[in-house]
Amino acid sequence: MHIVFAASECVPYVKTGGLADVVGALPPQLVKLGHRVTVYLPFYRPIQKRFPEPRYVIPSITIPFEYYNRFVGVVDGGLVEGVQFYFLDCPELFDREGLYSSPQGDYWDNWERFALYSRAVLEASKQLGVPDVFHAHDWQAAMVVVYLRTLYYFDPVLRRAASVITIHNAAYQGAFPPQTTERLLFPWDIFTKDKVEHYDTFNFLKGSLVYSDVITTVSRKYAEEIQTKEFGETLEGVLQNRAHDLYGILNGVDYGKWNPATDPHIAAHYTANKMAGKQKCRQDLLHAFGLEHITAATPVLGIVSRFATQKGFDLLAQIAPELAQRDIALVALGTGEGYYEDFFRVFAKSYPKKVAVKIGYDDTLAHKIEAGSDIFLMPSRYEPCGLNQIYSLKYGTVPVVRATGGLDDTIEEWNQKTGVGTGFKFDSLLPQDFLSAIDRALGAYRKAIWPQIIRNGMRKNYDWSAPAKEYAEVYKLVVQRRS
Backbone angles phi and psi of 364, in degrees to 5: -65, -45
The model's confidence at residue 477, banded by pLDDT at 50, 70 and 90, is: very high
Closest alpha carbon to 35 in 481, 472, 478, 479: 472
- Tens digits of per-residue pLDDT, 37-52? 999 999 999 999 999 9
The model's confidence at residue 483, banded by pLDDT at 50, 70 and 90, is: confident
Cα gap 393→460, rounded to integer Å: 7
Residue 18 is predicted with a pLDDT of 86
Cα gap 393→179, rounded to integer Å: 48
**pLDDT above 70 covers what percent of the chain?**
100
Min mean pLDDT across 11-20, 107-116, 139-148, 323-332 is at: 11-20
- Cβ neighbours of residue 473 closer than 8 Å, sequence gap 6 or more: none
Cα gap 369→301, rounded to integer Å: 9
Q: 187-209: b or e for each residue (b if 16 or more CB lie within 10 Å)? A: eeebbeeebbbbeebbbbbbbbb
Interstrand relation of 197-198 and 201-203 (parallel, antiparallel or unpaired): antiparallel
- Tens digits of per-residue pLDDT, 99-148? 999 989 999 999 999 999 999 999 999 999 999 999 999 999 999 999 99
Question: Could you count the other beta carbons within 10 Å of the beta carbon of residue 37?
Answer: 23
Mutual angle of helices 276-288 and 363-372, in 10-degree steps: 130
Question: Could you count the other beta carbons within 10 Å of the beta carbon of residue 439?
Answer: 15
Cα gap 470→229, rounded to integer Å: 27
Three-class SS string for 424-445? Answer: EEECCCCHHHHHHHHHHHHHHH
Cα gap 402→428, rounded to integer Å: 8
Question: Could you count the other beta carbons within 10 Å of the beta carbon of residue 72?
Answer: 25
The model's confidence at residue 154, banded by pLDDT at 50, 70 and 90, is: very high
Residue 483 burial by Cβ neighbours in a 10 Å radius (0-12, 13-18, 19+): exposed
Q: How far is CA 236 from the centre of its chain?
A: 20
User: Which domains does the chain carry?
Assistant: 2-252+465-482 (3.40.50.2000), 276-458 (3.40.50.2000)
Cα gap 372→359, rounded to integer Å: 18
Q: Is the pTM of this model over 0.75?
A: yes
The model's confidence at residue 17, banded by pLDDT at 50, 70 and 90, is: confident
Residue 84 has, within 13 A of its CA and on its CB side, a CA count of: 16
Residue 101 is predicted with a pLDDT of 94
Q: Is the pLDDT confidence value at 16 over 90?
A: no
Q: Per-residue pLDDT averaged across 160-186, rounded?
A: 98
Residue 40 is predicted with a pLDDT of 98
- Tens digits of per-residue pLDDT, 403-433? 999 999 999 999 999 999 999 999 999 999 9
